[in-house]
Chains A and B, each alone.
Chain A
Amino acid sequence: DAKTTQPPSMDCAEGRAANLPCNHSTISGNEYVYWYRQIHSQGPQYIIHGLKNNETNEMASLIITEDRKSSTLILPHATLRDTAVYYCTLNSGGYQKVTFGIGTKLQVIP
């Protein structure tokens, strides 16, 4: 019952930008968009989050459409260490459960 949909897999050439899309058409006004990644069965790692404005940190950029129904995570210069499963999830901080979909398996190719 995940509230987001993502492509199951993507490839990206090393050094190029990786653009990972996420659809969240039923997002409510107080829900933030979060991105996490999981490298080979380790615990997922937080990447970035945003409400309505685009956000950037040392790891990635997050672009949220104006209607907030979709977003894109951008890894500006993908490296082999970015090969992982990337999860997009929603969270308002309220008492609803935080669910994850199957994520996107990103393969960075040398």
Chain B
Amino acid sequence: EAGVTQSPTHLIKTRGQQATLRCSPISGHTSVYWYQQALGLGLQFLLWYDEGEERNRGNFPPRFSGRQFPNYSSELNVNALELEDSALYLCASSYRGKLSGANVLTFGAGSRLTVL
């Protein structure tokens, strides 16, 4: 079974540009989570998509946005890049067969974004 795949592995952009990161969840998983991890810091919750809808959002400015496609893959867009956006961006997926109960997240290897 293929795991969560993220692309690109590394991305270098300059200030003011836009970055697009992609995530393919495990087959059968309907939820996708995005996290930002700046160097030496913990995981900061960015966005959560489930069944094509944005279900929750972290404390990030609107220039961080995304979407989930009908095949449950997801895209994270960061507009007007700033130096402090340099980080590892992690995607995780899970299966939410019911609204309550256990919900194990499976993470991808991440996309490292460097803003110069």
Contacts and interface: CB of A to CB of B under 8 A. Distances in A.
A53 B86 CA distance: 41
Interface in A71-110: 87, 91-103
Contacts of B98: 93
Q: State the main secondary structure of chain A at its contact with B.
A: loop
Size bin of chain A's contact surface: 20 to 34
Given A98-B33, A98-B48, A103-B42, A46 B106 contact: yes
Interface stretch (A11-19, A36-44, A59-67): A36-44
Contacts of B25: none
Contacts of A41: 37, 88, 110
B37 to A, nearest CB: 8
Q: State the main secondary structure of chain B at its contact with A.
A: loop
A91 B56 CA distance: 14
Contacts, number: 73
Nearest to A50: B102
A43 B43 contact: no
Closest 10 CB pairs of A and B: A43-B107, A100-B43, A102-B42, A93-B103, A97-B56, A93-B101, A97-B45, A44-B107, A93-B100, A43-B109
Given A43-B107, A46-B105, A98-B105, 9 more contacts: A42-B110, A43-B4, A43-B110, A49-B104, A87-B42, A92-B103, A93-B103, A97-B56, A98-B48
Interface of B: 4, 33, 35, 37, 41-43, 45, 48, 55-59, 88, 90, 92, 96, 98-110
23 contacts: A30-B100, A32-B101, A32-B102, A32-B103, A34-B104, A41-B88, A43-B109, A43-B110, A44-B90, A44-B107, A49-B104, A87-B42, A91-B105, A92-B103, A93-B98, A93-B99, A95-B56, A97-B56, A98-B33, A100-B42, A100-B45, A102-B41, A102-B42
